[in-house]
Structure 1
Amino acid sequence: MGFHWQSHPELEPELRIELGLTGRFADQATAEAWLAENYLTLTASGVLTVSLYEQERLVYGPMSLEP
Structure 2
Amino acid sequence: MSDFDQSGARATEAQPWRWRLEDGAGGVVEAAPDLTDKSFPSQADAESWVGEFWPDLADAGVAAVTLFEADREVYGPMSLEA
Answer yes or no: same fold by TM over 0.5. yes
Aligned residues: 64
Larger Rg: 2
2:57 to 29, 42, 45: 42
The amino acid that maps onto 2:69 is E
| Aligned-partner Cα distance in 2 for 1:63–1:54 | 15
Q: Any runs of at least 4 consecutive aligned residues in structure 1 with deviations exceeding 2 A, and if so which?
A: none
TM-score (norm 2): 0.72
Of Structure 1 and Structure 2, the greater helix share is in: 1
Q: Indicate the RMSD between aligned Cα atoms, in angstroms.
A: 1.2
TM-score (norm 1): 0.87
Of Structure 1 and Structure 2, the greater strand share is in: 1
What runs of 5+ residues in structure 2 fail to find an aligned partner?
Answer: 1-12
1:6 to 1, 9, 20: 20
- Structure 1 counterpart SS, 2:75: strand
